[in-house]
Amino acid sequence: MSKIFNFFIGVMMGGLVGAVVGLLLAPSSGEDMRSQIQERSIRLRDEVKAVAEARRAELERELSNLRAPYRKE
């Protein structure tokens, strides 16, 4: 589990460093860059939210399946 976590942290840090370097070397104007960043951050937030909701639903199904044998009817 620790290796997976470390890999995930490395991917996030690499993405962050890449984004900063891209911003510093980008030929776009500041206003264009800000609008692109805003659009991308909104899209990323929506994607993360969708993945989190899907994972939560999956975990709730698994929990329900684990509890099923112990339920009194």
**Once rounded to an integer, what is the mean pLDDT over residues 29-55?**
89
**Full domain range(s) for residue 16:** 2-70
What local confidence, expressed as pLDDT, does residue 1 receive?
62
Q: What is the percent of the chain with per-residue pLDDT over 90, rounded to a whole number?
A: 38
Phi-psi region of 29 (alpha: psi -120 to 50; beta: other; left: phi over 0): beta
**Once rounded to an integer, what is the mean pLDDT over residues 10-39?**
83
pLDDT interval class at 31 (50, 70, 90): confident
Task: Look over the chain and give the mean of its residue pLDDT values, rounded to a whole number.
Answer: 86
Which of 31 and 54 is assigned the larger pLDDT? 54
The total of structural domains in the chain comes to 1
